[in-house]
Structures are given as C-alpha cells and as structure tokens.
Structure 1
Amino acid sequence: MLHVQVVLFDGFDLLDAVAPYEVFCAAEMLADYEMQVEFVSAEGPRLVPSGGKGVNIEATGRLNPTRKGIILVPGASGELEGDGPNAIPTILSRAMNTELTVKLKHALALPDLTVATVCGGSLVLAMGGLLDGRPAVTNHLGMELLGATGAIPVHARVVDDGNLVTGGGVTSGLDVALYLVERELGPQVAHAVERLFEYERRGTTWRKSGIPLRAEMAVGVSGVGGARDVTVVDSADAERAAVTVESSFDGTWDATIATPIGKLAVQLHISTINGLIQGQAIQGDEVSPFIAPILKGSTLCWSQRVTKPMRLNLNFEVAVSGDVMTGSAKAGILPASKLTAIRI
C-alpha cells in the first residue's frame, strides 16, 4: 500500500493542502484502497491553523520520514509583502525552523520515498538548504527566492526530479497530485479521478529526460535557470568597479544585519587591489567572498552566497558616510534586511 502524508504547519495554505488531499482520497477509493492518505504535522496529532482566516484542520498523525510513499508539503497563506508575523516569507521561515526540515532531509535521502511540494512548499525545503542544485518550481512570486537558495528554477507547472516533485502556484496542487497518482498507480486511476473531478491536468511535466535543447535555447525556451543567477556585471558596471585609488569602502567593518529572524553580526573586509574593489564577509566560521562587486555612483553593490541562517544568494547595496556604512541585503520576495556597520 502507498502511504501519502500531507504535511500541515501553522499558516499553511488551505487549497495547497486540501486539493491534493481530495485527489489522493479519490484515488484511494478508485484503486481499491491501494493508497492511504492522512494529514500529519511534524509535531504530531494536533489542530493546525491555516493562514488567512485561520481555519483549523486536524493532523491525525506525526510525520514519519521513513514511511514508504509520498510526503506532500503545501505553501503558506498570508500577506504577500513585509516582515510581519502573518507575511508569507515569515510563515515559511517559521516552518523551515521547526523539526520539519530535519524530517524532510531524512526523507529525501531514502530511495523509496517521494517528497512533493505545492506552491511555496518548495521554498520551505529550499530555505532549509535541501534543494541546492536541484530543479524545482514554486509560485511565480517566489521564483527569484527559489533561485537565491541555490535551487535551479524551472518555469513549468510540475517539475519531476525523481524523488522530488514540485508544483507551481496554488492550483497546481491538483496537477501535482494527479501526476503522482498516474506515476504511482497508473493512468487508468488518474484518468478516473480526472473524470470524477471534471478536471484535466494542465501543462507538461518537466523532467530531465529526452533529447536536450541546444545550449543557447535552453534558458529562453525550457524555462530552466535565470532566477538562480547572481548579479550580472555589464561593461559599464565593470568600468565603475575599477578604481585607481583606495575607495571610501576600504577597511574592516563590524556590521549588523537586522533580519526577520533576528540580528546577525558579520564582519566585512573590503579592499582595492589592482584598481578593483574586492571583499569578503565573515560570520562565525563561514567566509563568503563578494561576487561581482560594482560601484553605482556612491553605492557599492555585490552578491554573496551564505548558508546561515539559511542557504541564500543575497544582493547587497551599501553606502558610506565617514566611518559609517548603511544599506540593505535582499533575496527574492524576502523583505530587505537593514545593514549598519562601523569601520574599525
């Protein structure tokens, strides 16, 4: 028997969870109960409030990351912008910082278990560092953030990467579930569910198979990549990055970045070598070099890959007045984090 665990966390999106649940329930009935589906949470049986209006759904079990079958993670419902407690990025970050991430990491290491996501569910995994180098999709509003975590964004309705199947926006939960029913139980059962629901699965499921596209066509046509890229330096920017004297940014800076999950202490080392600005950031035992630092007027911009507090590609913009630096760090739809620093 194939077991399906639909994960609930505080602030989950109702449609992300309920639509696949109904598809799996219908498949369970039509396939003579060869499939069993239940709502679970990482913490165990409890009433779990959804986002938005806060409708409660009961999780009847604890997520078991070793149970053969499918684990499906929904996205969140809340405010689209800002860093308040009800903002979607905040809800996803809270879910990522629970034991859910550890359990999903364990599940992804098992060959006979598939982890599926709907909408922002892939961001829960990505922000936890579980999708580095893997093709995936999320809601179109989160594709830039998905790429910033090191995942490979694919602009498709459903993306199949073996034991990882991800879906796009909210209604793609139907398509993810129907695709998994067909993959695991066969097309006859999937077709019967489609007829019952009077819904036909949308789009082509993207997989790493078949004849590859020509390299120059891959990004524009297949929709792979793009959002993962860090800042691109054009020729004009490269000229601005070159300086002939020590820049006002040179030195060692004790910086504080105010993120939605707390303040981070970082030390920045910036220097001008052979006319080019270079730098690195040190946080604890992690050293991250600046990527493509460029001067835009009086503002220094660079990208940087970090793993703490989560795996992200951050874009920085800072300015200096004397020995004081101010600016921001941002990744995708996450709210910009304020940066302040003092030269030491």
Structure 2
Amino acid sequence: MHAQFVLFDGFDPLDVIAPYEVLHTAGIVSGGAVSAELVSAEGARPVPSSIEGLTLNATGRLDPYRADLVLVPGSAPSGDELEAAESSGYGQLTSATRALREQAPQSTLLSLLTHSMRQPGTTVAAVCGGSLLLAMTGLLSGRRATTHHLGMDLLGAAGVHVVSARVVDDGDLVTSAGVTSGLDLALHLVERELGPRIVHSVEILLAYERRGTVWRPRGSLPKVFGDPRPVR
C-alpha cells in the first residue's frame, strides 16, 4: 500500500505527522508492504503549516493514479476562529479551508482530490477538518463521515451523513474526528490492509493503543438514537 499525505499551506501538522509515523512504522514491521510520502498539488516544495515556524517538505506531487491511499489533513484554527466556532457552531472552517474552497473552480489540489475520490481502488482518508475540506467542495455528499466535534453541524449542512465516532469507515472513504484521532485512523487502515498481527506490533512500538470503536455501515441497526444522525 502506497500512501500520499497531502500538504497545503496552513495544514495542521499533527494531522499529518501522527498517521505518517504509524504508516512508516507499519512499513518497517511488514518488511516494506507499506510506503508513505508527503506530497502537494504543486510538487516538491516547502509547505508552511498552521503553526508558525513549522514547515514540512513535500517530496513529490499528488498523483491519484499512483496512490492506494490519499490522506487529507485539516487546518488548525486560530484563537479567534476557535472563539467564533464556539459561539456559532461552525467550527474548523479555518482561513486555510475557506481559501481552498473559494478557489475550488481553479484549484489544482481540489481537482486532484476529486480524481482521488473517483479513482477505483484508491482510498481517501481525512483527519479532523480534512473532512470539511472535502465536504465543502461537494465531494462527500451522501457519504458517511465524521470530523472535529466543532464542525459536525457544518459537515451535515454539506449533505454528509454525520456519524459521531472517532473513526468512520465508509469503504473507500475513511474519516476521523479530532486531531489525535489520526493515530486511530492510521492504525485501522493498517489493520484493514495487513491484519491484526502487524498493527499490534505497530501499537507496541509506538506505545499507543487505539481508542474508540470504528463505525462501519454493517451489523444490526440500533433501536435508539438512530444511525447515523440525520442530515439537517
């Protein structure tokens, strides 16, 4: 499995680094069955994160025809945006995400993400506000997904079937909630691809055990509370 982690100006670094280390470690444990790289829509370049002074280097260009997994991070909100999110309920629509959405008609990144979503055999994963980036450009309409708890209403307003879970597996779309949930998402993807023995070894090496239940559209329907929350 080859994974490409998408970087864009203003990305949240932990959304990238946490799952990247999980997949990198899985590659070591499995003898090379997993590989990962940092990419951008423009190709190799330094990409500034949402944390001042912290930059990661993309080593190549996002290529949906070469990647088995494309992971989309969110963008960490500023203090002012967090205050606005708490009062309005529209959390995680940060300045970086807004800028990308407004550039949608001419955005190379959004074009490549669209190709990724439509490419047979490619799984698209999103951490935290990455779900909102995809949803606000119409790519998740009718799908089941989650995001940071402050962005749930906005996700539902974009036509997504919102599931309040730490990780939501909707087949070729896998999403996770708040920032640290990227660890759980990546470990789930490793287990889905390589099985429990490999992922157990990764957990031991990283001294981390997964949290929460991965939600999937299977099994008996709950009789109370519904499944999932209806779209508003």
**TM-score, normalised to structure 1's length?**
0.61
In structure 2, how many angstroms separate the alpha carbons of the residues matched to 1:4 and 1:182?
A: 15
Query: Which residue pairs with 2:135 in the alignment?
Result: 126
Which residue matches 1:48? 47
What is the aligned partner in structure 2 of residue 148 from structure 1? 157
Alignment correspondent of 2:185: 176
Instruction: Give the counterpart letter for 2:35 in structure 1.
Output: Q
Q: Report the equivalent of 1:271.
A: none
Superposed CA offset, 1:163-208 (max 9, x none):
0000000000000000000001111111000000111111110011
Structure 2: which 5+ runs fail to align?
86-91
Helix, strand or coil: the match of 2:5? strand
- Aligned to 2:167, which of 151, 154, 158? 158
Alpha-carbon separation, structure 2, partners of 1:111 and 1:54: 38
The structure that is helix-richer by fraction is 2
Matches within 5 A, 1:71-86: 71-79=70-78, 80-81=81-82
| Partner Cα distance (1:57, 1:89) in 2 | 20
When structure 1 is superposed on structure 2, of 140-149 and 101-110 the one drifting more is: 101-110
Is it true that 1:64 corresponds to 2:60 in the alignment?
no
The match for 2:97 is 92
- Partners of 2:30 and 2:189 lie apart in 1 by 14
CA contact (8 A) 1:11 1:54 kept: no
Q: Identity of aligned pairs, percent?
A: 51
1:195-344 aligned at under 5 Å gives the runs: 195-214=204-223, 217-219=224-226, 222=227, 224-226=228-230, 228-229=231-232
Cα separation, 2, equivalents of 1:8 and 1:89: 15
Secondary structure of 2:43's partner?
coil
CA distance in 2, matches of 1:13, 1:143: 18
Q: 1:107: Cα distance to partner?
A: 1.2
| 1:42 positional shift | 1.0
Inter-partner Cα distance in structure 1 for 2:176 and 2:37: 20
* Equivalent AA in structure 1 for residue 55 of structure 2: N
Tell me how far apart the structure 2 counterparts of residues 54 and 150 of structure 1 sit (CA, whole Å): 36
The two structures have a TM-score, normalised by structure 2, of 0.90
Q: Deviations over 1:321-340 (max 9, x none)?
A: xxxxxxxxxxxxxxxxxxxx
**Aligned-residue offset at 1:213:** 2.3
CA deviations over 1:206-225 (Å, ceiling 9, x no partner):
011111223xx243xx5x22
Q: Which residue of 2 aligns with 1:106?
A: 115
1 or 2, which has the higher strand percentage?
Answer: 1
- Which residue does the alignment assign to 1:18? 17
Q: Which runs of 4+ in 1 moved over 6 A?
A: none
Distance in structure 1 (CA, Å) of the matches to 2:98 and 2:197? 39
Which AA in structure 2 matches 1:22?
E
Partner of 1:6: 5
RMSD: 1.6
Structure 2 residue matching 1:57: 3-state secondary structure: strand
Cα pair 1:68 1:112 within 8 Å, conserved: no
Relative distance call for 1:206 and 1:184 in structure 2 (3 A) is same
- Tell me the secondary structure at the aligned position of residue 37 of structure 1: strand
Contact 2:4 2:67 in 1 (8 A): no
